[in-house]
Amino acid sequence: MDQRMVNFIRALRAAGVRISLAESQDAMYGVESVGVSNRDHFASTLRATLVKEARDQSVFNYFFPLFFGSGQPPMENIPDNLSSDDQNTLQQALQSMMGNMDALRDLLRQLIEGQPFSQQQLDQMGEQSGLPQGSEMYQRQWFERRMQQQSGIRDIQDLIEALMQALEEMGMNGEAREQVREMLEQNAEGLAEQLSQYVGANLAEQMAAQDPKPKQDLQDVPFEHMSYHEADAIRDEIRRLAARLRSRASLRQKRAKLGDPDPRRTMRANMRYGGVPLEIKHKTRHKKPALLLICDVSTSMRYCAEFLLTLIYELQDQVAKTNSYIFIDDLTDISMVFTDEQPRDAVQKVLRENPPGYYNTDLGHSLDTLCHDHLGRVDHRTTMIILGDGRNNFNDPRTDLTEMLQRRCRRLIWFNPESSGMWGQGDSDMHLYARSADGVYKVSNLRELADAVDHILTDG
């Protein structure tokens, strides 16, 4: 049991639960005092000593039955619940079906007798499905489907219907047939549950056996693979990241306070001194950029848009002015929300009031709305940033509008989480949009996003 608990704790750690050595020892001492005879008390003891945060409760509840469950689903021996005549009819029907269904004969007999899979059967199916090579819990459903296909469970409903038809032809009454059907389906669910338990337990054991992986820096976690826990941690990191970017931007502006020497202005100013350079003129120092943000907040882009908006508004003292818009199928002005709320609260309010739906992303239509209703906010001082993957669900991309906006603004920049190898594939119009952009930054994680924002601030 001690080794089982050690593997359980290792699996929890592999799943992201923080458990110290002292807490592991507390769990051992607690179980030694409480015992294992009462399963509820045993589970409560482990939960109290190992779980510190509410968000880890679900992880504990998921893994506990994989290590300490019975593994044997409830199943019925169907003939024991039938009369002698119905037992004979069932046996005759079963024999009549075997000629055409030899491959499923063992499974059908197993269902009727209420026999779970043997350990040998499970190990054989697991080996054939490649389960020993599994290492992560997200693979569980895939291995379950493979094992269900090998066992024949996925075809069991057709088998049950064929048996019901044979029983009807042999004269079994409707009530008895319905009773047989219910018990067969219950036994089939029991076998499927047994396979699921076997797959989950094996993956958990294999996770526990692995050496702890070095924890990936949160800033390098791809947005598309980010968990809810990691997103929460990054929200806490944004303010510290903004402080670092603000310090760097302030230092650059301090160094550029006088600017570089400007030979042309120096010569012109000193003509009255006969060309002697008594007054040194300097180039204009770094200017704060005026930004216009257009953010895709569809499901695939939601995290990225959230972090960009939060980061930009945490850096408002480094920006001359910011106007912000979001879109899925049409454009929405959200600039006013940030005048009344703190950046993080404002972003959460915007996302809450604009949930992703079943409507299609349409940047072309959104750009049309921008040009029709808000074109006055775009001038020669404006840096436009479009955050999106350039996927329009085969709608008109309206590249004519991006070309016009690029000519009208100081520069038009794209932030895109997809690599250039994905441009033009499927419904992607990014290869068309890139032609009318002054630059495209890849922003698949927080580090790339912060570097892109830093470059915008650097260039003023």
Residue from 389, 436, 438, 392 nearest 415 by CA: 389
Which amino acid appears at position 162 of this protein?
A: A
Cβ atoms of residues 308 and 295 within 8 Å:
yes
User: Which two tokens mark 392?
Assistant: 């329009």
Contact 445, 221 (CB under 8 A): yes
Q: Which CATH number is associated with domain 228-255+287-459? A: 3.40.50.410
pLDDT of residue 206: 80
Round to whole Å and give the CA distance between 12 and 19. 8
> Residue 51 and residue 70: Cα distance in Å, rounded?
23
- How many CA atoms are closer than 13 Å to the CA of 409, on its beta-carbon side? 27
Which two tokens mark 69?
A: 């469950």
User: Can you tell me the distance from the alpha carbon of 179 to that of 164, in angstroms, rounded to the nearest whole number?
Assistant: 11
Tokens of 108: 């059908």
Distance from C-alpha of 424 to C-alpha of 435, rounded to nearest angstrom: 12
Residue 296 DSSP symbol: E
Q: What is the mean pLDDT of each run of 10 residues along the chain (460 residues)?
A: 77 80 84 80 85 82 77 59 64 57 61 77 83 79 81 72 74 77 78 81 79 70 78 82 77 58 84 83 71 88 87 83 89 86 86 77 91 92 91 89 93 91 87 92 89 79
10 Å CB burial of residue 414 (0-12, 13-18, 19+) is buried
Residue closest to 197 by CA, chosen among 275, 117, 299: 117
From 268, 280, 217, select the one nearest 450 (Cα to Cα): 217
- Read off the tokens for 197: 């338990």
In this structure, the number of other CB atoms found within 10 A of the CB of residue 93 comes to 20
Q: What phi and psi, each to the nearest 5 degrees, are found at residue 161?
A: -65, -40
Strand pairing of 321-327 and 411-416? unpaired
Give me the amino acid identity at 313.
Answer: Y
Judge whether 450 and 241 are in contact, CB under 8 Å: yes
Q: How far is CA 243 from CA 78, 259, 263, 316, 322, in A?
A: 69, 24, 36, 11, 18
pLDDT at 103: 46
Q: How far apart are CA 227 and CA 215, in angstroms?
A: 14
How is 232-244 classified by DSSP, letter by letter? HHHHHHHHHHHHH
pLDDT of residue 52: 83
Buried-exposed string 326-356: b where 16+ CB fall within 10 A, e elsewhere: bbbeebbebeebbeeeebbebbeebbeeeee
Query: Does the predicted model carry a pTM greater than 0.75?
Result: no
- Domain-by-domain residue ranges, the chain? 2-69, 80-209, 228-255+287-459, 260-286
Strand 439-442 and strand 411-416: the pairing is parallel
pLDDT, position 139: 79
**Which tokens in the block code for residue 256?**
């550029």
Q: Are 27 and 5 in contact (CB under 8 A)?
A: yes
**Model pLDDT, residue 216:** 66
DSSP 388-423: S--B-TTS---HHHHHHHHHHSSEEEEEESS-GGGT
C-alpha–C-alpha distance, residues 381 and 410, integer Å: 5
In sequence order, the β-bridge partners of residue 325 are 294, 333
Query: What is the rounded CA–CA span in Å between residue 200 and residue 205?
Result: 9
Of 418, 366, 360, the closest CA to residue 394 belongs to: 360
The reported pLDDT for the residue numbered 434 is 92
pLDDT given at position 92: 61
Cβ atoms of 346 and 312 within 8 Å: the answer is no
